[in-house]
Amino acid sequence: MEKVLSSLGKYRLAAGVALFMMLVELAVELSQPYIISRIIDYGIRAKDMSVVWLWGGVLTGGALLAFVAGIVGSYYAAYASQGFGYDLRERLYTKVQNFTYEVFSRFASSSLITRLTGDVSQVQETIFMALRFMTRIPLVVAGSVIMAMIVNVKLGLILAASVPPLLLFVWWMIRRAGGVFRMVQQRLDKVNGVIQENLTGIRLIRVFVRMNHENRRFRESSRELMRGTIGALKLTETTLPFIMLLVNGAVITILWFGQIDIASGAATEGETVAVVNYALRTIGAMSMLAWIAAMFSRAGASAQRIREVLNGDADQPQSDAAVDAGQPFSGSDVEFQQVSFSYPESDRAVLDGISFRAEAGQRIAIMGATGSGKSSLVQLILRLYEPDAGRMLIGGVDSKELSVRSLRDAIGYVPQEAVLFSGTIRENIAWGRPEATDEMIARAAKAAQLHETILGLPQGYDTRLGQRGVNLSGGQKQRLSIARALVREPQILILDDSTSALDVKTEAALLEALEAMSCTTFLITQKISSTASADVILLLEEGRLTEAGHHEELLRDSGLYRRIYESQYGKEARHV
């Protein structure tokens, strides 16, 4: 909890003012029953109106003071809690941005969204309630008991006797409710995950007429959340009736013994009224405690989930200093020396003893069946992961000794799935290089064979994209992603099966345009038309490099490459 609450440090002054104002309200509240007892005993019973006016004026002045203190306290509590939430959300977002890819893969996207929104809001709201009410409740209870005993020891002891069992019950309930609310938040993650999948794949769902199936999935996950929430609320809502039973029993006991003591002269009407008033304040505080306990339990569960994110890369720091540490990028030749790699928490080697050399400016085509390790290989070049064994040299330097930032600044990367962002086409291309001029953007679009298509749109480069680029075709999305990589003028270009939606003519024009760029290109593809012009073709099979060479060489010597070729062009084409 300390790590989560550390974001509250810069708001210590505001929190202190809020707590001080709360203490002012508390002092006024605790003094009111005592003042009322003075009015009854020394004013009304003695028929002395001067006493009534004096203490009535004090009572009114105190109420006005409490009113002002409440407004000021609420303002500063809101300022502290909202500022805390803002800073904590920014800390979490920055932490997620700096996660290693390995750590990032441990969290579902829907879970991270819930933690950055719902969990932070829950803790933020609890901070506000703590500054305004939560810290006040134990003080009201303790202060009421003390003041009741000051007014009348015997009647005050009756009230004091009811407090310990109440506190023990609430403590037990909070401990038990924490685990229940953690389960509720996990089920909320699941609901968000289903929603995210459905909204992302809405077109596919409709084409396959799977609306009823997906509605059923949502209902099931939502029903689980509802049942979990009902179970948690059942647990927390039993607190209030139990508290009311005990405290109301104490009030009845106070009234019973109070009327006996009044008759015997051991107590006055004012004292009895004051102690009953303190008992009623204890009821109010304890009834709020049931609500606060439920909130605290939920906040505890949320804080633990937030802490998991903050501690997510404790063993793998990715601070700016760590990203910048190492030698600057100095060359675009890439060499793998017996590189092996397996994903975290997996025993299966995705890459096994891979060795090859790509000279600066060469085009390297990578082919292989699904799951052969093609994408994993280029992820090592990007240093999204580190090899388990062997060495990867870039520019003759071990990749582990290079600055991650300088390495990635020199790489243009186009993933398998085109990822587009909200904004215009111009902004999406410039996303790869924020300082890019209009000329640089147009040049990249021309190389990606997209310039003419963009000019044909009503707003040209200022055309706004729909959600995830819904108003573009698959090939246009891919070419836009390629333009975003090319505008960086990279020294190493990685195309991860990112020309699959392009027709043969457009792809040939793109590859020809890339010839003019002096960059080392890694092209993952399943199309022979893409590999024919490559300087080196790597054939991967189950994580091993089985063949390497140029097109004619592999067509002559590699049975696997010939089978791929014949599957696309037919046996006759090879002989021709």
559, 576 contact by CB (below 8 A): no
The DSSP 8-state label assigned to residue 43 in this structure reads I
Write out the DSSP string of 422-433: SSBHHHHHHTT-
Residue 215: partners with Cβ closer than 8 Å, 6 or more residues away: none
Question: Which residues in the chain come in under a pLDDT of 70?
Answer: 1-5, 174-175, 177-179, 200, 203-204, 207-208, 236-237, 239-240, 287, 289-291, 293-294, 297, 313-326, 466-469, 570-576
Residue 295: partners with Cβ closer than 8 Å, 6 or more residues away: 122, 125, 126, 129
Q: Which of 365, 383, 296, 354 lies closest to 534, judged by CA? A: 365
| pLDDT tens per residue across span 208-263 | 677 788 888 888 888 888 888 887 777 766 766 777 777 777 778 877 877 777 77
Please state, in angstroms and rounded to a whole number, the distance separating the CA atoms of residues 241 and 101.
Answer: 50
Domains annotated for the chain, with CATH where assigned, are 2-310 (1.20.1560.10), 331-410+491-510+517-576 (3.40.50.300), 416-489 (3.40.50.300)
Q: Model's pTM, two decimal places?
A: 0.66
CA 313 vs CA 113, 115, 386, 473, 475: distances in Å: 18, 16, 15, 38, 37
CA 49 vs CA 54, 56, 63, 273: distances in Å: 8, 10, 21, 19
Q: And the tokens for 486?
A: 């090319």
Largest CA distance in the chain: 123
The pairing of strands 492-496 and 520-524 is: parallel
